[in-house]
Structure 1
């Protein structure tokens, strides 16, 4: 098995079709790669673990995702550890383990992180604080995340940070504010921005519908009409559940 090619193929399939249909394949490939991982293949195997853990997270298979993340961390170099731990921090908050997500972010921010990685962990910290009800502190932390982002890409930033962009920040800002019935503008900006792959369009749209429905906006039904056709086509259980929580899809 060409592990690097497997990583590339899984990422392409996720962007086009979502995680649910390929999570089991990713799990099998990661187990196979771990068994045959030589010293030279440890880092690309850890990268495969990161992808696998993310696919399981988006499929709402959190116990398996945590196991994969731990296994990948055991063989990852420092930049890949940052990636995996940032994913776990987001996943922890997603399933209500807010203090765990905060602890992961705090632990990482206590180390010497490059610009974009620091911005990402500040986003994770802000999301955890918002989920814990500390909205003022969350807003201040998110402002620090934006400041770190505006510092640009540093020489030590790993290549995987390419996706940490303005659209990603806006979405997380909206999700942070949605904890208290706000964030519509930021979520809408992320959804309406161009050049989105189908999976991202579904995830952004479903969470926008949920936020609109929470404040009883008439726009919820309109956006739901655009997003519902993705159901059964794009395999993001995370997005499906957000859409169901809105009450506009049963």
Structure 2
């Protein structure tokens, strides 16, 4: 029995890691983060790595790390092969609802709204990787409150709306943290609660997130379907919100190789210039010059119009406020990729220098992936200037140092 368990553990842990595209070092860094989140100090990195290799080889059982492994891979102990498969048992229906820790009164609602704004501010400053777990816990606490009925009945609509908004934020944070299964689940939860509350504003934001996510996963037709469901559905869209979903449509068309995407940006820019209306949602501020430039850059890049794309990437960086640290980091990473693709090395060197001080400031997994892709592209060139080789090496070291700092 022991050998069989070891074989299963080896296979399932390796498969789980391969599915995520992580190295053993990356898994161990995430394990350390998970242990710290429990208020415990992890062992030294080399010790965790040694143990993890034993677990993958089936030499030892990960008894003391089961919870962290399940958190990191978002899988059950059985799915990871950490325990023997349980014998099926009859369904046991609980006779009492779970207990609610807090009561949903006006003070609770105001406090929860303030906490939501705090999470948004943290994301804008530091990126999503460190706070996505907090947002999911926050969502689950609200979900439990609603499920148990431990709230003032008059606040039910407000609490459903807040829960939907927290789920929307958790989905966005999961996207930035590259936790794609969680993105889809949180988007679905958001749509459930926002529709219960009749909150069209957050429902629309969630649908735009869902279209964005589908495109990011290489499913442009799904992204296009979502955009069209809003544009051609029964939604009353202001010029600013219509511009957003036309942008999503253009991005999906471009990703599918459809040149009709580009003329859409004339209509998008015209709608954008009509400004924000009094009845626009609070999040409409997010649609700005920077975002439009970046979306046009991404669309033209999908259609292999690289020279146009790089000009729009430059515009997106220029339009980003210096105080928006995470956005500065992200948009400069996209610009660097475009510069590497075109081999504009003098500009790439300047972008690398601007990125280096941002790396220890922001923990955005999505941006790190972009930068590592840029590093790999440089390595594929047969010859690059010496200053670029040096700058790219510094970039790689800074990313490795940031991973180590965040983990330990």
Q: TM-score range by the shorter chain?
A: over 0.9
**Counterpart secondary structure, 2:321:** coil
SS in 1 for 2:178: coil
How far apart are the structure 2 equivalents of 1:166 and 1:3?
Answer: 31
- Structure 1 position 152, deviation (Å): 2.1
Aligned residues: 249
Matched, 1:157 2:280: yes
Residue ranges of structure 2 left out of the alignment (5+ in a row) = 1-107, 376-391, 397-408
Whether the 8 Å contact between 2:320 and 2:327 is mirrored in structure 1 is: no
Distance of 1:68 and 1:82 partners within structure 2 = 14
1:79, distance to aligned residue in structure 2 (A) = 1.3
Give the deviation of 1:31 after TM superposition: 1.1
Match of residue 134 from structure 2: 25
Quote the offset at 1:168 in angstroms. 1.3
- Answer whether contact 1:123 1:142 (CA < 8 A) is retained: yes
CA distance in 2, matches of 1:93, 1:227: 26
Residue 221 (str. 1) matches residue 349 (str. 2): yes
Distance 1:171 1:52 in 2: 23
Deviations 1:31-72, CA, capped at 9 Å, x for gaps = 111111351311112111111111100111111011001001
Q: How does 1:209-248 map to 2 (within 5 A)?
A: 209-218=336-345, 219-247=347-375, 248=392
Deviation at residue 194 of structure 1 after TM alignment: 5.1
Moved more, 79-88 or 1-10: 1-10
2:241 counterpart of 1:126: no
What is the match of residue 182 of structure 2? Answer: 64
Higher relative contact order (CA 8 A, sep 6+): 1
Distance 2:290 2:232 in 1: 26
1:118 to partner: Cα distance = 0.7
Q: Name the counterpart of 2:214.
A: 92
List structure 1 runs of 4+ shifted beyond 6 angstroms.
none
**CA deviation after TM superposition for structure 1 residue 108, in Å:** 0.6
Contact persistence 1:115–1:157 (CA under 8 A): no
Give the alignment of 1:1-250 within 5 angstroms.
Answer: 2-37=111-146, 39=156, 40-76=158-194, 77-111=199-233, 112-134=236-258, 136-179=259-302, 180=304, 181-182=306-307, 183-193=309-319, 195-196=321-322, 197-218=324-345, 219-247=347-375, 248=392, 249-250=395-396
Distance 2:208 2:189 in 1: 15
Q: Which segment is superposed worse, 118-127 or 181-190? A: 181-190
Query: Secondary structure at the residue paired with 2:162?
Result: helix
**Which stretch of structure 1 is more off in the superposition, 185-194 or 48-57?**
185-194
Q: Once the 2 structures are TM-superposed, how far is the Cα of residue 156 of structure 1 from its aligned partner?
A: 3.8
Distance (Å, rounded) in 2 between the aligned partners of 1:11 and 1:93? 23
The one-character-per-residue Cα deviations of 1:147-190 (angstroms, maximum 9, x if unpaired) are: 22122223542221112111211111112112212411111111
Q: What CA distance in whole angstroms lies between the structure 1 residues aligned with 2:200 and 2:318? A: 35
Deviation of 1:127 (Å): 0.8
Q: Is the 8 A contact 1:3 1:45 kept in 2?
A: no
Higher gyration radius (CA): 2
Q: Work out the CA distance in 2 between the residues paired with 1:130 and 1:232.
A: 34
CA distance in 2, matches of 1:151, 1:174: 22
